Structure 1
Amino acid sequence: MKKYCKFIYAFPLIAALLAHTACQANHPQIDNSTVKQLDINRYMGKWYEIARYDHPFERGMSHVYTEYSLLDNGKIHVVNKGLKNGKPKEAIGKGKQPHPIEYPGRLKVSFFLWFYADYYILELDEDYQYALVGSSSDNYLWILSRTPEMPKAQLDGLLQKIIQRGYDVSKLIFVEQ
């Protein structure tokens, strides 16, 4: 009886480990490491959305861009704009850089009360002309540019970096600008 009881108690742990292993095999680890240096002032301004993973809060939107501005208190004012069914849509939010020294590329953004989401700057052009943004998971990904279109060579290079990081480029939706 004792051996049977030990198995019953161990079964949930074994099942959890097997499920975790199977999940890891189906979803290989992504590299969501962020940039090591970020001049937050240079990052401010207008960024056009070149491509993104699909998610409900931007589904069906085109002509999407975001404007960031640094406030006196160090917080970031965020304005997302775009068109949905030909009508302008706007979302105003706030951002912050919780650990500017340790993790300069890890920001937090909120569009609702105090609920902040990860905003990881994964790649950033040395001239701050394009950026790759993700999160702590592989569910979110954006390609941003200072201009409504990116040169093909630049975009192709960024797509290669996305693949090397373990993201699925086939999930990208290229945004009409």
Structure 2
Amino acid sequence: MRPLTTLLAALLLAGCASSGEGPVPPRTVGMVDLQRYQGTWYELARLPMYFQRKCVQSEAHYSLQDDGSVGVLNRCRTTGGDWIQVNGRAIPQVEGRTDKLWVRFDNWITRLFPGIAKGNYWVLYLDDGYRTALVGNPNREYLWLLSRTPVVSQKTREQLLEVAQGQGYDTDLLIWRTPDSAFSSVPSP
């Protein structure tokens, strides 16, 4: 019995020793002026994400609500040219801070698990003109390079990549937006 107790105690201590703070989370921008942030953002690139597996072009439409939350409408174009969309809502994770939001979408997952089905939306970079942004999550699994336009200059693209790499994101895995020219024969909604 003593060896079993010793083994369990050792495992418990090992678990405690390895459950330290872990990797340092990425830095956020501090405050985001949600009034300026609202509007349309085009996804230039993203890290692979299950819910976007069929998307080749994505955009997000944000609108500030009277209660301080942000209405979210995400649209994506599939390889077949069809548009799909989902509505959601974003709220600050900490009262008074607008750089870290919880986003909850209106879908079967959030209806099934209302208390836990929310995603981290951390604004990691935002240029002074609110024209480009990097959004990710604390464990660096997700990353979106966003712009107010579907295409940016090579210089802007390199700057966004540099910031993402500096924050510890693996930019080699990014999935880039399919150009509009690939859909020239498909009408837009």
What's the CA shift string for 1:55-76, capped at 9, x where partnerless?
1111121221010001112221
Among 11, 33, 46, which residue is 1:52 paired with? 46
Identical counterparts, % of pairs: 31
TM-score by length of 1: 0.85
What's the CA shift string for 1:66-123, capped at 9, x where partnerless?
100011122211111111132111111111124253x320011111343321100000
Structure 2 equivalent of residue 144 of structure 1: 146
| Alpha carbons 1:95, 1:110 under 8 Å: kept | yes
Structure 2 equivalent of residue 62 of structure 1: 56
Matches of 1:141 and 1:151, distance apart in 2 = 20
Higher mean displacement: 7-16 or 154-163 = 7-16
- Give the RMSD, CA atoms, in angstroms: 2.2
Structure 2 equivalent of residue 87 of structure 1: 82
Matches of 2:167 and 2:24, distance apart in 1 = 6
Matches of 2:55 and 2:24, distance apart in 1 = 27
TM-score by length of 2: 0.80
Q: Would the alpha carbon gap of residues 31 and 158 (structure 1) be closer, same or farther in structure 2, given more than 3 Å must change? A: farther
Q: Would the alpha carbon gap of residues 80 and 6 (structure 1) be closer, same or farther in structure 2, given more than 3 Å must change? A: same
Gaps of 5+ in 2: 180-189
Shift of 1:10: 2.5
Structure 1 equivalent of residue 10 of structure 2: 11
| Alpha carbons 2:25, 2:139 under 8 Å: kept | no
Residue 158 (structure 2) pairs with residue 156 (structure 1): yes
| Alpha carbons 1:51, 1:142 under 8 Å: kept | yes
Shift of 1:17: 6.1
| Alpha carbons 2:42, 2:147 under 8 Å: kept | yes
Shift of 1:9: 2.5
Residue 121 (structure 2) pairs with residue 119 (structure 1): yes
- Secondary structure of 1:95's match? strand
Residue 72 (structure 2) pairs with residue 78 (structure 1): yes
Letter of the 1:49 partner, please give it.
Answer: E
Structure 2 equivalent of residue 128 of structure 1: 130
- Secondary structure of 2:118's match? strand
- Secondary structure of 1:142's match? strand
Matches of 1:31 and 1:11, distance apart in 2 = 29
Q: Would the alpha carbon gap of residues 162 and 30 (structure 1) be closer, same or farther in structure 2, given more than 3 Å must change? A: farther
Gaps of 5+ in 1: none
